A and B are shown apart, each in its own frame.
Chain A
Amino acid sequence: MSVIDIRGLSFAYDEQLVLENINLTVKQQDFLAIIGPNGGGKSTLLQTILGMHEIKKGNIKIFGQDISKNLAKIGYVPQNTNINTNFPIKVIEVVLMGHIQEYEKNPTDKNWLKRYFHIGYDKDEISCAKRALRQVGMERFAYQKIGTLSGGQRQRVMIARALCSMPSVLLLDEPTASIDTDGQKQIYELLKKLNKTITIIVVSHDISVIVGYASKVAHINKTLNYHDISQAARPNIDGEHFCEVEMLQLLSSKHQKGCEC
């Protein structure tokens, strides 16, 4: 079954059409890169998948169901993780935020307070958060203030937060936007590792890096062009840089008519 199925989706902010007749199928264990120019609609598409915009035309199915039914299966890493860096919050508390939608009254709980409220953090939740931090290699920072971490480390914490709810698909919006080259590579290596069990969708400007890791590429500039590059000749991702010319060659080897990218 496909993880995400988008059919005939169009979206407009006020009068301006941002997405036009988008069709996209994401299969299990895909590593999909969504690329395209600024204002081309990349983030809008991601937000629409997450149910942040009302869909007027077309539809999106997640595991064959409506978005709202399956939000818990989607892990999301937002674009700007550099906001609020002075906020007094520990790494583990940030990760525990991933559990928040499980906040529900539990009528069978012996503790009467817990029957009605969800106060503090359970042992299960804490061990789960630590497991997520271990997955991204950040366990030893669990009790540090988030502001003491570097941009790359903070991004990994955000990935841990998304992993906390055990998602089947991970959506990342520009995960390496403000991270140095070393940090970027670490993030992508991490995503590659996670991709063994989780479907990954990355929105990125950073075409050259992402194509080294992605198996599918969707280019969005109002309309969507899809490329399966899983069989294409792989660039040497251990090398310093995968230049855009190589990338263009790679994409054009599967080029279809009408593609503008």
Chain B
Amino acid sequence: MLEILSFEFMQNAIVAGLLVSIASGIIGSLIVVNRMVFLAGGIAHTSYGGIGLAVYFGLPIFLGASLFAVGAAILMAAVTLNQRDKTDTFIGLIWAVGMAVGIVFVDMTPGYNVDLMSYLFGSILAVSNADIWYMSALLVVIVAIVTIFYRQILAVSYDSEYAKLRGVDVRFFYTLILVMSALTVVIAIKIVGLILVIALLTIPVYIGEKLSSSLATMMAMSGILSTIFTFLGLFLSYSYDITSGASIILVSALSLLLFLVLNNTMRKIFNTVKKIKK
């Protein structure tokens, strides 16, 4: 079994899995506490437009997708800050339009038949060295921003009205969170694909939230859980020859189920013990 680790593509897959898991633990936590899961989902799908443009103009895929996703994030931030009640309409709109743009540009690209499936469901085994560098750089930037502005980000996420009164630039930090989400979504697409990315950003985070009493521990916990699920999913995908993205998500979902059952049972036992003591 261990001989698979000697392949470069497998080493890259493991490093990429680790980098993306940590990033999605941090950013997923922010997405969940700010209730922007579907905003992130919208951005994920929109970024396919960027993939199409990149293919058409012969740009690096990550560059095209990142620029497009960041553009969508800034647009969404502006709309949701000004017209909160229109948020879901706008998510639906940008979600579909972005994908349509991507499909049309891929169609128009002569002689190049891009594998749509690899973007929809991820291709962790096709991670290049350049991808690894990009992911590492992004993770460093995210960790730096979240560390330096932890208090502001926490205040904006917990109580934006109060943060505003205390002189925190809520619009800036809200947009910053969305832009970081967009960039994380783009690297996560490589691992699980743009359809499944929401699950990677929410399942480990959901468990992490239950186990944490502060945002920072939630981020760390989610990152660790996400790493475990990704490695386990990757291992199963290799062993049974199934799509890696789907296998990672199913491992996460089954773990969540197990966690909920255990959590409930523990609580029941705890309550019974309490009653007996009384």
List of B residues within 8 angstroms of A94 by Cβ? 158
Nearest CB of chain A from residue B28's CB, rounded to whole Å: 13
Known: A97-B166, A100-B167. A84 touches B214 (CB 8 A): no
Least CB separation from B149: chain A residue: A117
Nearest CB of chain B from residue A44's CB, rounded to whole Å: 14
90-146 of chain A: CB within 8 A of chain B = 90, 93-94, 96-98, 100-101, 103, 117-121, 143-145
Residue from B165, B167, B217 within 8 A of A76 (CB atoms): B165
B259 contacts the other chain (Cβ, under 8 Å)? Answer: no
Interface bin, chain B: 20 to 34
Contact mask B207-228 → A, CB, 8 Å, 1/0? 0010011110110000000000
Known: A71-B165, A71-B167, A119-B147. A100 touches B155 (CB 8 A): yes
In whole angstroms, how far apart are the Cα atoms of A94 and B214 in the complex?
A: 11
Report whether over half of chain A's contact residues are helix, strand or loop; otherwise say mixed. Answer: loop
Q: How many residues of A contact B (CB 8 A)?
A: 30
Contact B213 A90 (CB under 8 A): yes
Contact A88 B218 (CB under 8 A): yes
Nearest CB of chain B from residue A97's CB, rounded to whole Å: 5
A89 contacts the other chain (Cβ, under 8 Å)? Answer: yes
Contact B165 A97 (CB under 8 A): no
Nearest CB of chain A from residue B195's CB, rounded to whole Å: 27
List of B residues within 8 angstroms of A87 by Cβ? 33, 157-158, 215
B134 contacts the other chain (Cβ, under 8 Å)? Answer: no
List of A residues within 8 angstroms of B148 by Cβ? 117, 119
A52 contacts the other chain (Cβ, under 8 Å)? Answer: yes
Contact mask A45-58 → B, CB, 8 Å, 1/0? 00000111000000
Contact A97 B213 (CB under 8 A): no
Known: A97-B162, A100-B166, A100-B168. A88 touches B150 (CB 8 A): no
Among all A-B residue pairs, the 4 with the closest Cβ atoms: A101-B167, A145-B213, A101-B166, A88-B212
22 contacts between A and B (CB under 8 A): A51-B165, A71-B167, A78-B161, A83-B159, A86-B209, A87-B33, A88-B215, A89-B215, A90-B213, A93-B154, A93-B214, A97-B154, A97-B155, A97-B163, A97-B166, A100-B155, A100-B166, A100-B167, A101-B166, A101-B167, A119-B148, A121-B151
Q: Which residues from chain B sit less than 8 Å from chain A, CB to CB?
A: 33, 147-148, 150-152, 154-155, 157-159, 161-168, 209, 212-215, 217-218
